[in-house]
Structure formats: structure tokens, C-alpha cells
Amino acid sequence: MSLKKKIRILGDKFSENIDFMSRVIKNLYLDPDSLILDIGTGRGKMALILALSGFKIITGEPEGHNWADWQTYARKINVLDKITFKNFQAENLPFEDSYFDAIFANGSFHHFSDKFKAFSEMIRIIKPKPYGKIVIFEFTEEGIEKIRKSYPGHPNATNPVEFMGDLSLNVTIKKGGLINAYIFDKK
């Protein structure tokens, strides 16, 4: 069964933007043994897509903020063994320097309390070029407006490029309609 069909089993909230996100992941050409971090588990969409793509993932949320039951979804599509959950803050990541091959944040960046610090932490724990990639999927204004139909107080969309500060990074932006992909690597 294809990734798209497996995700569709989980319902509309999971299948939205799946083609775009899968294409972005595929075009990163990550090694199957890559160490991958997903910041901001939520319902688990990013971790589930990565697991269905064959990767093992560490995912996490701050203590007390795991608001969705991602484990039920992971069991339903038989990928729970590929996902490890840890509590952590994006602004203080409990990992060694240059540890991960790829870091993903799907729809979570605009929720980080200190975006500059979170970005700095991601850069600290990502491997140097040519391996390390940071991929931030962030909603467009249209995407946020759609969310606000169900959650009126949802925060504004954020452009992660504005929070790079003095960090020396290459950035590629892929436009996807309701979400964009911001792909960063060290220069």
C-alpha cells in the first residue's frame, strides 16, 4: 500500500498537503539510516510521514504539551516501532552538537516561544553540510485562515527566514499552497 493510501486511512487532517510534503522529503535524498528529529509532535503527521518513508524518528513536545494522541495513529498504520517520543523544548534541545542528519518542524515553528533561540539550537545539533538539513513546513496566510475557521485564536503565520539572525545558512523555499517548505543547511 502506498504512503498516500496509508495516510488517507487516518483521515482528512492527515492527507492534506501529503503530496507536497512527501515530494519535499523525497527530494532531500536522505540516507535510509539518517538520524531524524521532528520538533513539535502534535498529531504526529510529520513523524508518521517520515516513518512511512522508511525512517526512524525522534519526536517531541514540551512536558505537558502532548495534546494529541499520535500513538494511536502510529499503531493504526504499523509504524510505532519507528518513532521515539521525548519531552523537550525547541529552545533547549537535549542532544549533542552535530547529531542529526535532518530536523523537521511541521506547523510548529510559529508556536515556539523564542524562535531565534530555537533556530540556534537546530543549527547546533544539525550535522554540517552536505548532510544536515533543517526543513520547516510553515503555514501560509491562507493556511492559517483555514485553521482559524476551527481555531479562531490560532497564532499568525511566521516566515522562518526572518529568524535566522546572523546564522550562516543556505535557504531554499518551496511553495505548496497552504504550507511552504523552508529548507536550510549550513554554508
In a domain, 144, yes or no: no
Measure the CA–CA gap between 178 and 168, rounded to whole angstroms. 28
Nearest C-alpha neighbor of 184 from the set 108, 127, 111: 127
In a domain, 110, yes or no: yes
The tally of domains found in the chain comes to 1
In a domain, 162, yes or no: no
In a domain, 178, yes or no: no
Pairing label, strands 169-175, 133-139: unpaired
In a domain, 91, yes or no: yes
pTM over 0.75: yes
Burial, 130: exposed, middle or buried (Cβ in 10 Å; 0-12, 13-18, 19+)?
A: exposed
Alpha helices for the chain (secondary structure H): 3-9, 12-15, 18-26, 45-52, 70-76, 115-125, 141-148
In a domain, 11, yes or no: yes
What is the full per-residue pLDDT of the chain (187 aa) written as tens digits? 566 677 777 776 666 788 899 999 999 999 999 999 999 988 888 999 999 999 999 999 998 766 668 888 899 889 999 999 999 999 999 999 999 999 999 999 998 999 999 999 999 999 987 779 999 999 998 888 888 888 888 888 899 999 888 878 899 999 998 999 999 998 7
In a domain, 146, yes or no: no
Structural domain harbouring 124: 3-136
Nearest C-alpha neighbor of 37 from the set 120, 135, 116, 161: 135
Written as nine digits, the cell of 56 is: 526512524
Burial, 5: exposed, middle or buried (Cβ in 10 Å; 0-12, 13-18, 19+)?
A: exposed
Nearest C-alpha neighbor of 1 from the set 79, 57, 81: 79
pLDDT attached to residue 12:
66
In a domain, 168, yes or no: no
pLDDT attached to residue 1:
56
CATH of the domain at 79: 3.40.50.150
